[in-house]
Structure 1
Amino acid sequence: MADSHKNTIRFAERITSSASFKTLYSEGMGLVEETAGYLDGTGRVAAKALPRMASVLYAAESMRLTTRLMQMASWLLLQRAVNNGEMTHEQVIAEKTKVRLDGFACDKSAPGWDDLPEAFRDLVERSLRLQARVALLDKEIYQNNGNRKVPANPDNENSVKAQISLLQTAFGGN
């Protein structure tokens, strides 16, 4: 019975080298760039005009948004690295423990949510949808793949440091 798994085609693993993954990668990296541009430009100006409650919420949500996008970008970069032969599947699994694809949700019923700029709320919504797609793909590739289970991230005490390390690994920097 164990030998029958040797001939099994693992579709979930192959999806990261497909055209649909390339589209997801482009969408994810595009959203990162678009969000950075918004937060550094139009969003910065819009945030200054917000009422106090909305201003506090904007600051908190922009941190969640950038963290969410950084986590997804790290995951996408890892998948691209394995596809390009820059990292082995085992190296990706080891680095992937630093990536967190859950959490960073937002409370749309929070006081001030409706006062946030529409463009900002749109970026948050799009990032949440993208996060759900990436998390589903991650689950299909790593958690539903027989013996290839990836341990959950045991601690997120220093997730920024972990993300910097992950990005350095993906780009081959020091």
Structure 2
Amino acid sequence: MSLVVNNKSVAINFGQHFVYSAKFDSIFEKGMSLVDKTAQYLDGKGRKQAKSLKSPLSVIYITESMRLTSRLLSLSSWLLSLRKLRTDGVSIRNAIQIRDDLKLKRFGHVSHIKHFDKLPQEFQELIIDSYKLSQQVNCIDRALRTNSYCE
């Protein structure tokens, strides 16, 4: 899409525009909050709950906690990089290069986790929230790459 300014057509990148929006700020804050909340849970209550789990749930818990941590690390790194678009004047091309270096990928879904419903409730909620964040970040990523609209 383009906008006419002073009789000249100027291309608008919806992804870059989105990074300047209040909705991006909300996603960013929720993402960083989720990282903090997850760290607190895994270091405290989650550690205690994990000790009470029997095999195979204990193995699933350990595996999923590592996946959750990795997922949130990747997503938060990308969100921080996106914020640089507006705070440090990083170009879209450079931001996409940073994203490619992070090897951010599409993550699965809770339906892919065996015995998900038997894991501790708070842990389930953190995993679900991380997948929601992943969908939002992938939407922003797609908008930057394809100049499409992100809802």
Report the TM-score, using the length of structure 2 for normalisation.
0.84
Distance in 1 of aligned mates of 2:19 and 2:29: 13
Distance in 1 of aligned mates of 2:77 and 2:110: 21
Match of 1:98 in 2: 101
Q: Write the distance in 2 (CA, Å) between the matches of 1:87 and 1:109.
A: 37
Which of 86, 93, 111 aligns to 1:83? It is 86
CA gap 1:92/1:109 in 2 versus in 1, 3 angstroms: closer
SS of the counterpart of 1:7? strand
Q: Judging changes above 3 Å, is the alpha-carbon distance between structure 1 residues 88 and 13 closer, same or farther for their aligned structure 2 residues?
A: closer
* Identical pairs, percent: 33
Closer, same or farther in 2 for the Cα pair 1:66/1:6, shift >3 Å?
farther
Contact 1:101 1:134 in 2 (8 A): no
Which of structures 1 and 2 has the larger relative contact order (alpha carbons within 8 angstroms, sep 6+)?
Answer: 2
More strand by share: 2
Q: What secondary structure does 2:106 align onto?
A: coil
Report if aligned partners of 2:19, 2:82 keep a CA contact under 8 Å in 1: yes
What is the root-mean-square deviation in Å for CA atoms of aligned residues?
Answer: 2.1
> Offset at 1:107?
4.3
TM-score (normalizing by structure 1) = 0.73
Q: How far 1:41 moved relative to its partner?
A: 0.4
Equivalence for 1:31:
34
Whole-Å separation in 2 of the counterparts to 1:28 and 1:122: 14
1:51-90 CA deviation, whole Å, 9 max, x = no partner? Answer: 1111000001011111111111011000111210253333
1:4-153 equivalent positions in 2, closer than 5 A: 7-85=10-88, 87-99=90-102, 100-107=104-111, 110=114, 112-142=115-145, 144-145=146-147
Question: Unaligned regions of 5+ residues in structure 1, if any?
Answer: 147-174
Distance 2:127 2:137 in 1: 15
- Partners of 2:117 and 2:28 in 1: CA distance: 30
Paired residue for 1:171? none
Where in structure 2 are there 5+ consecutive unaligned residues?
Answer: none
Aligned residues: 141
